[in-house]
Amino acid sequence: MNTKISSILKTLRSMNGIKQEDVAKAIGISKSGYGYYEQGRSMPDPEMLLKLSKFFNVSVDYLLGNTDEIHSKIELNIPQEYANKYKITPKDKKQYIEHMKKANEAFFMNDEFDEEDKKEILDTMNEIFWKAKSMNKRKPKDE
């Protein structure tokens, strides 16, 4: 069995603070089925590798241990002001990546924007995301 993929899956899941059952549910298999991947007892088929790569936002080559580059198109662009005030959790990172993926798909599907416009839109979406996170973390003053 491929022990590389098992350790990579464990590391990715741990880094993202996700339970085995959550991964299993997201990719449509049983918890024990996913557990076998992490134990190196079974190898995901090509379709399952693709589902796992999408779930963890990494390339299939990364999952297979063929490259050290994760190939995430979305960089975390966390404002220093936010990072100084709040702890950045794996959940925050995952929400950010999903938010920016949706923004990318919504605005750039037809490729009508030049690179400068794309950057401006993504910078604005980035600012909005972290401002909203900050607002959600504040407690009401009356409590």
Question: What digits encode the pLDDT tens for the residues 21-37?
Answer: 999 999 999 999 999 99
36 and 43 Cβ atoms separated by less than 8 Å? no
pLDDT tens digits, one per residue of 96-136 = 877 776 776 666 555 566 767 777 887 888 888 888 888 88
- Per-residue pLDDT at 72: 46
Q: Which domains does the chain have, with CATH numbers?
A: 3-63 (1.10.260.40), 80-137 (no CATH)
Q: Alpha-carbon Rg of the chain, whole angstroms?
A: 18
Whether this prediction's pTM lies above 0.85 is answered by no
